[in-house]
């Protein structure tokens, strides 16, 4: 029981990271109908920018603890957003209106470019950091097993909830969010109402990248090691989360992220750590075969 509760806590905090990234996949798919394969690498860039920010801030002795984390988060979000914007501008916008596979191929290319860029500029070695946030609580004791809730996990869960609340408000309550939903439902009509659809698409990439940066910061702080290759595996899992939740559905992305996080954690805890990635990929395949619209997705209606 206590062991399961511990896995639940670990699974939720991991799942939130996947959920934040999955939102980026699902938003971009919703608005331009493409899978942005470079999104996992945008997450990786976010983690590296957080690392750089953290080293600068803590070595400069400016701040430590929560203040440093907030600042790192803000810097990483801003710069990662810039990467997201640039990728769309350079690699996808020129191909809009071209054949359907073109932006997909371009995205795979972009993913390779970003990985190599980080590998060359930052080196291929794994980058560890000292734990920034330590401590935690024992919330339950059962025999010799103590259920731990670390301060870091609390921080991940709270930050993610706050970011998700702001994001939900943005999409459902603001003019910008309404324009994004309009573009998602009927881009041509949105432009007939005077919406600058290219700009709306750019903003979608910027927001998706900023959320991936949050995930990158959280990943760095939680696991303490990153390398140029983390974007691939984490990206595929977040993509699986988006598909499981129903690609195009924002609540679905968060739900899918949580489920993938939980499944992976419980699988590692009860079956086999070595095969934990197999669990996520099996779910991707099972979903695509048996439930292609996912848990909260809509059946794809042919647009007229």
State the maximum Cα–Cα separation within the chain, in Å, rounded to a whole number. Answer: 67
Residue with Cβ nearer other proteins (141 or 174): 174
DSSP codes, 83-115: HHHHHIIIIIGGGTTS-TTHHHHHHHHHHHHHH
Distance between CA atoms of residues 2 and 55, nearest Å: 37
Residue with Cβ nearer other proteins (169 or 271): 169
Minimum gap (Å) between residue 165 Cβ and other proteins: 20
Phi, psi of 137 (to 5 degrees): -125, 150
Distance between CA atoms of residues 5 and 300, nearest Å: 38
Minimum gap (Å) between residue 87 Cβ and other proteins: 23
Residue with Cβ nearer other proteins (193 or 289): 193
Residue that has been written with the tokens 């359907």 in this structure: 100
Minimum gap (Å) between residue 280 Cβ and other proteins: 30
Minimum gap (Å) between residue 300 Cβ and other proteins: 13
Residue with Cβ nearer other proteins (185 or 272): 185
Residue with Cβ nearer other proteins (179 or 263): 179
Distance between CA atoms of residues 85 and 276, nearest Å: 33
Residues that bind other proteins (CB under 8 A): 175, 178-179, 181-182, 185-186, 188-197, 304
Distance between CA atoms of residues 237 and 218, nearest Å: 16
Minimum gap (Å) between residue 257 Cβ and other proteins: 22
Minimum gap (Å) between residue 193 Cβ and other proteins: 5
Residue with Cβ nearer other proteins (11 or 294): 294
Minimum gap (Å) between residue 176 Cβ and other proteins: 10
User: In sequence order, what are the residues at sequence separation of 6 or more whose Cβ sits closer than 8 angstroms to the Cβ of residue 75?
Assistant: 49, 50, 53
Residue with Cβ nearer other proteins (38 or 179): 179
Minimum gap (Å) between residue 186 Cβ and other proteins: 5
Residue with Cβ nearer other proteins (100 or 175): 175
Phi, psi of 229 (to 5 degrees): -100, -5
DSSP codes, 172-235: HHSHHHHHHHHHHH-HHHHHHTT--HHHHHHHHHHHHHHHHHHHHHHHHHHH-EE-TTHHHHHH
Rg, Å, the chain Cα set: 19
Question: Are 207 and 167 in contact, with CB atoms under 8 Å apart?
Answer: yes
């Amino acid at each position: 029981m206590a062991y399961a509760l511990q896995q639940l806590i670990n699974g939720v905090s991991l799942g939130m990271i996947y959920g934040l990234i999955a939102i980026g996949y699902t938003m971009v798919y919703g608005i331009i109908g493409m899978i942005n394969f470079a999104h996992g690498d945008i997450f990786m860039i976010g983690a590296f920018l957080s690392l750089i920010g953290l080293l600068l801030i803590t070595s400069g002795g400016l701040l430590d603890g929560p203040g440093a984390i907030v600042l790192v988060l803000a810097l990483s979000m801003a710069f990662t957003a810039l990467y997201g914007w640039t990728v769309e501008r350079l690699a996808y916008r020129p191909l809009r209106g071209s054949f359907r596979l073109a932006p997909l191929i371009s995205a795979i290319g972009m993913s390779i470019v970003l990985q190599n860029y980080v590998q060359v500029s930052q080196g291929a070695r794994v980058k560890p950091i000292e734990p920034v946030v330590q401590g935690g609580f024992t919330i339950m004791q059962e025999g010799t097993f103590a259920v731990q809730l670390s301060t870091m996990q609390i921080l991940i869960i709270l930050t993610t909830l706050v970011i998700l609340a702001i994001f939900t408000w943005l999409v459902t309550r603001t003019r910008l969010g309404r324009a994004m939903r309009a573009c998602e439902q009927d881009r041509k009509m949105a432009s007939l109402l005077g919406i600058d659809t290219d700009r709306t698409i750019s903003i979608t990439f910027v927001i998706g990248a900023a959320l991936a940066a949050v995930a990158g910061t959280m990943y760095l702080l939680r696991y303490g090691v990153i390398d140029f290759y983390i974007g691939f595996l984490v990206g595929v899992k977040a993509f699986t989360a988006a598909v499981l939740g129903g690609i195009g559905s924002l609540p679905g992305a968060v739900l899918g992220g949580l489920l993938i996080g939980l499944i992976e954690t419980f699988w590692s805890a009860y079956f086999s750590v070595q095969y934990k990635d197999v669990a996520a990929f099996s779910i991707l395949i099972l979903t695509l075969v048996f439930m292609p619209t996912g848990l909260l997705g809509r059946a794809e209606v042919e647009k007229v």
